[in-house]
Chain A
Amino acid sequence: MSLAQLLSHLRALPEMVLLAGACALMLVDLASKSETRRLSYLFAQGVLLIAFCATLFVLSESEGKRYYIFYGLFVSDLLSHVLKLFAFITVSAVLVYARPYLHERGLLKGEFLTLLLFALLGILVMISANSFLSLYLGLELLTLCLYALVALNRDSAASTEAAMKYFVLGALASGLLLYGMSMIYGATGSLLFTDIGPQTAALAASSSSMRTLLVFGLVFVVAGIAFKLGAVPFHMWIPDVYHGASTAVTLVIGTAPKLAAFAMALRLLVNGLPALAVDWQQMLVVLAVLSMALGNLAAIAQSNLKRMLAYSTISHMGFMLLGLLSGVVGGNRLNAVDAYGAAMFYTAVYVLMSLGAFGVLLLASRQGAECERLEDMKGMNRRDPWLAFLMLLMMFSLAGIPPMAGFYAKFAVISAVVQAGQLWLAVAAVAFSLVGAFYYLRVVKLMYFDDPAGVAVPAGGGSARWLLSVNGLALLALGLLPQGLMALCQAAIRSL
C-alpha cells in the first residue's frame, strides 16, 4: 500500500482521534483519584474539541467532493461532516449538563465519560457508513455503550431493569435488522450501498418476485430503523428506558443517537434503496402517523416529566419521518432536497430542544430532590425565574410555537409534505401537534401559575447554566433566522 493510499485514510481522522482519545481517557482516568474527575472531564472535552477541529479540517480539505475509503465501507461527504459536527457539539453539551448532576450522586465515574466517547464513535461510524457492515458495526458499538450507560447506576433497581429491557429489545431489533440486511444482500450480492442502489433498481424492474424478496427484506430493515428512532410499534423501550435511566443518561440517549438514527435511515433508505422508495415511503407513513398519534396522546396521561418527554420523542420522530417520506413523488426526486433537508433540520432542532429540556431537569435536580415529576415544576418561576424562562423556551419550541425554532422545523416538514401532495398527512400532523401543544403548555402553566410545592431548592449554577442559556437562546435565534441552518442542511442533503 502506497503512502498516498495510507494518507487517504486520514478522511476518517475524526474517528481516529476519537478512538485514540477514548482509549487514552480510559488510562488517564485510572490515574485520576479525584471525586470531581476534573482531569478526565477536561480530557474528554479536549478530545471532543480536537475531533471537532479534525472534522473541520477534513471538511475544508474535501472541497465539497465525496470520497470512499476502507474499500468503500466508509463514505466522507458533506452530510457526514455536518452531522458529525452536530454530534460533537451535542455530546460536549451533554458532558457539561450531566457533570454536576452525576457528581452529586456519586455517579461521575470514568466509565461514564469513556462509554460516552465510545458511543459517539459508534455514532460517527454510523453517520459515515456506506455498507451494511460498517453501519451494523457502528450501531452495535453505540447501543452496547448505551446499555451499559443505562445500567451505570447499578444500585438502582429501576436502572438495571431498564437496561435489561433495553438490551433484550435492542438485541431483538438488531436481529431483525440483520435479517433484513441478509435478505437484501442475498438478492443483490453486495454490502455496499453504492452498489445496492443500482442493483436494486435493476432487480426490481426485472421481476416482480425479486422485488417482493427485496421488499420482504426491507420490512425488516425498516423495523430496525424504527426501533432505533423509537417509532410506533417499535417504541416500547423508549418510555421505560427514559424513565428508568438516571436523568443524565436519558439526556445522552435522547440527543446524539437521534442524529445517528437519522443518518442510518438516510443511508439505508435513500442511499441504499432508492429504487424501493414507493415501498418504504408507505411503511414510513404508517410508522409516522402511529408515532405522532400514540406519542402525543400517551404523553398527556403522564405524570412523570421524563416519561412525558419520552413520548414526546416518539411523536417528534414520527414528525421527522414525515420529511423522510415525502422526498420521492412518483419516481421524481425533485422534492428530495427540500424534504430530506427539512427532516435533517428537524432532527438537529429536536436534538437541541431535547438537550435543553433535559438540561433544565438536570439543573433543577438536587441531591435527594429529583426534578422529574410534573409537580416538581410547580412554581418554578418563583424559585428560579431564568431557569423557568429557559424551560418555557424549550416547551414552546417543542410545541412548535413561533418564533421558536421548533415552529420553523415543523413548518418546513409540513410544507415538504404538502409539496409531495400528501395533504391529509399534513392535516394529521398539524392536528397531532395541536394535541401535543397541550402537555407542553401544561408544564408552562405549572411553572408560572401554580404555587411551589415542597421545599425550595436552589438550582445549580456554573457553566451548565450558561450553556443552557445559550441553548435556549439559540432555539430562539434559529426560529427567527432559520435560513442559515436550513441552507446547511440542504447543502448536506445535496451531497448525498
Chain B
Amino acid sequence: MKTLYLLVPLAPLAGAILAGLFGRALGRAGAHTVTILGVLVSFLASCWIFADVLEGNTFNGTVYTWLTSGGVTLEIGFLIDRLSALMMVVVTFVSLMVHVYTIGYMAEDPGYQRFFSYISLFTFSMLMLVMANNFLQLFFGWEAVGLVSYLLIGFWYTRPTAIHANLKAFLVNRVGDFGFILGIALVLAYFGSLDYAQVFAEAPALAAPVTLICLALFVGAMGKSAQFPLHVWLPDSMEGPTPISALIHAATMVTAGIFMVARMAPLYELSATARSVVLVIGGITALFMGLVALTQYDIKRVVAYSTLSQLGYMTVALGASAYSAAIFHLMTHAFFKAVLFLGAGSVIIALHHEQDMRRMGGLKAAMPVTYWTFLLGAISSAGIPGFAGFFSKDAIIEAARHATIPGAGFAYLCVLACVFVTAAYTFRMVFMAFHGAPRYDAHRPPHESPAVVTVPLVLLAIPSVLAGWLVGRFLPVDSAWDFVVHGLVSLPFWLALAGIAAAAILYRRPSSLPKRIAMRLGPLYAVVERKYGFDELYAWLFGAGARVLGTGLWKAGDQTFIDGLMVNGSARVVGWFSGIVRLAQTGILNTYAFLMLFGILAGVTWVIWRFWS
C-alpha cells in the first residue's frame, strides 16, 4: 500500500521531469502523453486509496527520514485519511481534466512542453501538500504550489501584465507565507515536533499559545486562499492561461488554505477566538467579493471574484467548525468552478481571445455543448436544490446559523445575502454571454470547441450536478432527499431564485436599467467597481512606502555601511591578509621544515607551560 501512496505524487513528478527536461526530444505529443499518463496513474491510484479509506484503512507513517538535527526529525511522511484521500481524488481528477483540456487550448503555443511540465509539477506539489503528515512537508508543498503558480501566471512572460500579475501574486503570498512560517515556527518551538499526530495529541495539555498559532497559520491560509484583505492577487492571476485559472486558481491551489485549516481542526477547536476571526474574514470575503463580481465585464474576472466569494463560504464553514461542510463545498466548488472556468475559456478561444462580455452574447446557438455545461455549472453555483452546489452551500449556511461564537451572526447575514449575489452574478454571466443578440465580430463567427475541450467540460459537469448526492456521508440529516425538500422551502432557495430573476430582468435583453442603477448608486457603485480601492491602497502604502524605506536603507545602510565598510572593507582586509599568507609559501624547503618544527615547538611549550603551572 505504501508503494501505492508513493506512486500518487511520484507519477506526476516523473511526467513533469520528462516533459520539462526532455521536452524537446519527446515532442509535443510525447510531452502530453507522458504527463497525462502520469496524472492518470495518479488519479486511478487515488481512487483506489479513497475506496480503501472508505473501508476504514487509514495510514499515518514515515516514508523517509530526511535529516535529524538537535532532536527534531525532519521526515517525509503520509497521512492518509478521509480528508486527504478525498482531496487526492479531487486534485488528480481536476488536474487530469485540465491536462486533457490543455491539449486543445494550448495547441498553438510555443511553450507547450513547458506548460505540461508545470501543471504536472503543480499536481505533484499539491499532492505532497495534501498527503503530508507533518508541517515541514506541508510547508514544502505549500511553497512548491506557490512557486508553480508564480511560474504559470507569468507563463506568457513576454506580456508585461502577466509579469506584473505574477509578481503581485508572489508578493501577496509572501505576506501570507510569513504568517504561515511563523505559525510553524511556533509549533516547533512549543511542541518540539512537526508531526501532526504528536502536535494534536499534545495540544490540549500543553500551555502553548494555541490562539496565536492558529491565527498565524490562518494568515498563511488567507494568502493562499485569497481571503480578505490578501485577496488582491487572485483576480490579476487571470493573466495566466485559462487552464491554469481553472486548475490552480479555482479548483486546487486556492483551496490549500481551506484544506490546511481543516487539517488543523484539532488546533482550531481549542481556540474560539481564532475561529471567530476565521468566521468574520470568511463572511466579509464571501459577500464583498461577490458584489465586485456583479460589476465586472471581463468574463474571467467575474469567475475569479466568484471564486473569492466561494472561498469565503468555505472559510465561514471552517470558522463555524463545520470542517466537513467546508471540504464538501471545496469539492463541489472544484467541479462547478472548473466547469465555469473551462467554459469561459472555451468561449474565449471561440471568440479569438475576447474576454469582454459586452462583446459576446447569443453564443447559445453557436456553442451548444459549452452553453449547456456552463448553465449546469451556473445552476450548481447558484445553489438550486438538487445540484451539487446547493448541498454544500446550504450545509454551510446552516452551520453559520447554528454557530454560537462571536461574529457568527454577522457571518450568517453575509452568507445569506451572498446567496442572492451569487445567483445574480452567475446568471448575469450566462445571460450576457450566451443570450440576447450577438455583439461579437460578425466576420469571425465562433465555433464550438474541439472534443478535447468539450469532453472535459462534460465530464466535469456531471459531478457538479451529482456530487451532492454523496451528501449522506457529510451532513447531519438522514437522507439527501429530505435535505432537498427542506431546501425548497427555506430562505436561501428563494434568495437564489430572486438573484436569477434579477439577472434575467437586467441582462436577458439589452436594457439601460443596469446603467441607471449604477448611476443612482453613484459613489457606492464606483467603490465596488474599483474593488474597494485595495489595489490603490496597497500600491500607496506598501509600494510607495517601501520604496521610500528602501531608498533610505540603500543609501545609508547598503552603500555606506554594508558596501563601504563591511563588504569592501572586509574584502580589503582579506585580500591584504591573503597576500601576506602567500608570501609565507616561499617554495624554499627550509622555511617549510622550520614552520613544522615551530609548530612542534609551540606544542611542546604548551605542554611544559601546563606542567609548570
Q: Which residues of A contact B (CB under 8 A)?
A: 164-165, 168-169, 172-173, 176, 208-209, 212, 215-216, 219-220, 222-223, 226-227, 233-234, 236-237, 239-240, 283, 294, 297-302, 408, 411, 415, 419, 435, 438, 481-483, 486
Is B557's beta carbon under 8 Å from chain A? no
Which residues of the other chain, A, contact B591 by a CB distance below 8 angstroms?
A: 236
Which residues of the other chain, B, contact A168 by a CB distance below 8 angstroms?
A: 589, 593
Give me the 8 closest cross-chain CB pairs, A-B, nearest first: A236-B592, A219-B603, A301-B578, A233-B599, A298-B581, A297-B578, A300-B578, A212-B611
Whether A234 lies near B599 (C-beta < 8 A) is: yes
Instruction: Give B51-78 as 1s and 0s: 1 = Cβ < 8 Å from A's Cβ atoms.
Output: 0000000000000111111100000000
Whether B67 lies near A300 (C-beta < 8 A) is: no
Is B607's beta carbon under 8 Å from chain A? yes
CA distance A172 to B611 in the complex (A): 27
CA distance A482 to B69 in the complex (A): 12
Output the least CB separation between B134 and chain A (Å). Answer: 15
With A298-B585, A301-B579, A301-B581 known to touch, is A215 a contact of B607 (CB < 8 Å)? yes
CA distance A438 to B599 in the complex (A): 29
Which residues of the other chain, A, contact B599 by a CB distance below 8 angstroms?
A: 223, 226, 233-234
Which residues of the other chain, B, contact A172 by a CB distance below 8 angstroms?
A: 593, 596
Whether A227 lies near B582 (C-beta < 8 A) is: no
Whether A233 lies near B70 (C-beta < 8 A) is: no
Instruction: Give B565-605 as 1s and 0s: 1 = Cβ < 8 Å from A's Cβ atoms.
Output: 00000000011011101100101010111011011100110
Complex interface residues of chain B between 404 and 435 (CB less than 8 A to chain A): none
With A219-B607, A408-B67, A481-B66 known to touch, is A297 a contact of B600 (CB < 8 Å)? no
CA distance A215 to B595 in the complex (A): 21
Which residues of the other chain, A, contact B587 by a CB distance below 8 angstroms?
A: 240
Which of A234, A237, A415, A435 contacts B69, CB < 8 Å?
A415
Output the least CB separation between B53 and chain A (Å). Answer: 29
Whether B589 lies near A169 (C-beta < 8 A) is: yes
Whether A223 lies near B585 (C-beta < 8 A) is: no
With A220-B600, A415-B70 known to touch, is A298 a contact of B607 (CB < 8 Å)? no
Output the least CB separation between B466 and chain A (Å). Answer: 43
Whether B578 lies near A219 (C-beta < 8 A) is: no
In the complex, residue of chain B having the shortest beta-carbon distance to the beta carbon of A486: B67
Which of B67, B603, B604, B610 contacts A483, CB < 8 Å?
B67
Known: A209-B611, A300-B574. 11 other contacts (CB 8 A): A169-B589, A212-B611, A216-B604, A222-B603, A223-B603, A234-B596, A237-B592, A300-B575, A301-B578, A415-B69, A483-B64
Whether B593 lies near A298 (C-beta < 8 A) is: no
20 sample A-B contacts, Cβ–Cβ < 8 Å, listed by A number: A172-B593, A212-B610, A215-B607, A219-B604, A220-B600, A223-B600, A234-B596, A234-B599, A237-B592, A298-B581, A300-B574, A301-B578, A301-B581, A408-B67, A411-B69, A415-B70, A435-B574, A481-B66, A482-B67, A483-B64
Which residues of the other chain, B, contact A283 by a CB distance below 8 angstroms?
A: 603, 606
Which residues of the other chain, A, contact B69 by a CB distance below 8 angstroms?
A: 411, 415
Whether B600 lies near A176 (C-beta < 8 A) is: yes
CA distance A332 to B125 in the complex (A): 44
Whether B603 lies near A233 (C-beta < 8 A) is: no
Which of A209, A220, A419, A481 contacts B70, CB < 8 Å?
A419
Which residues of the other chain, B, contact A176 by a CB distance below 8 angstroms?
A: 596, 600
Output the least CB separation between A396 and chain B (Å). Answer: 19
In the complex, residue of chain B having the shortest beta-carbon distance to the beta carbon of A490: B68
Whether A227 lies near B596 (C-beta < 8 A) is: yes
Which residues of the other chain, A, contact B582 by a CB distance below 8 angstroms?
A: 298, 301-302
Whether B581 lies near A483 (C-beta < 8 A) is: no
Whether B600 lies near A169 (C-beta < 8 A) is: no
For A176, A219, A294, the residue with the greatest tally of chain B CB atoms inside 10 Å of its CB is A219
Which residues of the other chain, A, contact B595 by a CB distance below 8 angstroms?
A: 233, 236
Which residues of the other chain, B, contact A223 by a CB distance below 8 angstroms?
A: 596, 599-600, 603
CA distance A234 to B596 in the complex (A): 5
Which residues of the other chain, A, contact B604 by a CB distance below 8 angstroms?
A: 216, 219
CA distance A220 to B606 in the complex (A): 12
Output the least CB separation between A367 and chain B (Å). Answer: 27
CA distance A448 to B596 in the complex (A): 40
Whether A169 lies near B593 (C-beta < 8 A) is: yes
Output the least CB separation between A341 and chain B (Å). Answer: 11
In the complex, residue of chain A having the shortest beta-carbon distance to the beta carbon of B570: A435
Which residues of the other chain, A, contact B574 by a CB distance below 8 angstroms?
A: 297, 300, 435, 438
CA distance A189 to B595 in the complex (A): 32
Instruction: Give B144-160 as 1s and 0s: 1 = Cβ < 8 Å from A's Cβ atoms.
Output: 00000000000000000
Output the least CB separation between B609 and chain A (Å). Answer: 11
CA distance A150 to B357 in the complex (A): 80
Output the least CB separation between B602 and chain A (Å). Answer: 8
Complex interface residues of chain B between 221 and 271 (CB less than 8 A to chain A): none
In the complex, residue of chain B having the shortest beta-carbon distance to the beta carbon of A287: B599
Whether A219 lies near B600 (C-beta < 8 A) is: yes
Output the least CB separation between B131 and chain A (Å). Answer: 19
Whether B579 lies near A483 (C-beta < 8 A) is: no
CA distance A216 to B591 in the complex (A): 24
CA distance A270 to B380 in the complex (A): 73
CA distance A164 to B592 in the complex (A): 13
CA distance A209 to B608 in the complex (A): 11
In the complex, residue of chain B having the shortest beta-carbon distance to the beta carbon of A226: B599
Which residues of the other chain, A, contact B585 by a CB distance below 8 angstroms?
A: 236, 239-240, 298
Which residues of the other chain, B, contact A220 by a CB distance below 8 angstroms?
A: 600, 603
With A236-B585, A297-B577, A298-B578 known to touch, is A169 a contact of B596 (CB < 8 Å)? yes
Which residues of the other chain, A, contact B581 by a CB distance below 8 angstroms?
A: 294, 297-298, 301
In the complex, residue of chain B having the shortest beta-carbon distance to the beta carbon of A220: B600
Output the least CB separation between A90 and chain B (Å). Answer: 25
In the complex, residue of chain A having the shortest beta-carbon distance to the beta carbon of B605: A219
Which of A165, A298, A300, A481 contacts B589, CB < 8 Å?
A165
Which residues of the other chain, B, contact A486 by a CB distance below 8 angstroms?
A: 67
CA distance A236 to B586 in the complex (A): 9
Whether B575 lies near A301 (C-beta < 8 A) is: yes
Which residues of the other chain, A, contact B575 by a CB distance below 8 angstroms?
A: 300-301
Which residues of the other chain, B, contact A240 by a CB distance below 8 angstroms?
A: 585, 587
CA distance A258 to B322 in the complex (A): 62
Which of B64, B578, B598, B607 contacts A481, CB < 8 Å?
B64
Whether A483 lies near B66 (C-beta < 8 A) is: yes
With A236-B585, A297-B581 known to touch, is A165 a contact of B592 (CB < 8 Å)? yes
CA distance A208 to B610 in the complex (A): 11
Whether B607 lies near A216 (C-beta < 8 A) is: yes
Output the least CB separation between A109 and chain B (Å). Answer: 27
In the complex, residue of chain B having the shortest beta-carbon distance to the beta carbon of A219: B603
Which residues of the other chain, A, contact B598 by a CB distance below 8 angstroms?
A: 233
CA distance A215 to B607 in the complex (A): 7
Which residues of the other chain, B, contact A301 by a CB distance below 8 angstroms?
A: 575, 578-579, 581-582
Which residues of the other chain, B, contact A408 by a CB distance below 8 angstroms?
A: 67
Whether A483 lies near B65 (C-beta < 8 A) is: yes
Which residues of the other chain, A, contact B592 by a CB distance below 8 angstroms?
A: 165, 169, 236-237
Instruction: Give B24-59 as 1s and 0s: 1 = Cβ < 8 Å from A's Cβ atoms.
Output: 000000000000000000000000000000000000
Output the least CB separation between B429 and chain A (Å). Answer: 46
Which residues of the other chain, A, contact B578 by a CB distance below 8 angstroms?
A: 297-301
Output the least CB separation between B71 and chain A (Å). Answer: 10
Which residues of the other chain, B, contact A481 by a CB distance below 8 angstroms?
A: 64, 66
Which residues of the other chain, A, contact B596 by a CB distance below 8 angstroms?
A: 169, 172-173, 176, 223, 227, 233-234, 236
Output the least CB separation between B509 and chain A (Å). Answer: 62
In the complex, residue of chain B having the shortest beta-carbon distance to the beta carbon of A236: B592
In the complex, residue of chain A having the shortest beta-carbon distance to the beta carbon of B66: A483
CA distance A219 to B610 in the complex (A): 13
In the complex, residue of chain A having the shortest beta-carbon distance to the beta carbon of B612: A212
Which residues of the other chain, B, contact A300 by a CB distance below 8 angstroms?
A: 574-575, 578
CA distance A468 to B38 in the complex (A): 31
CA distance A408 to B68 in the complex (A): 11
In the complex, residue of chain A having the shortest beta-carbon distance to the beta carbon of B573: A297
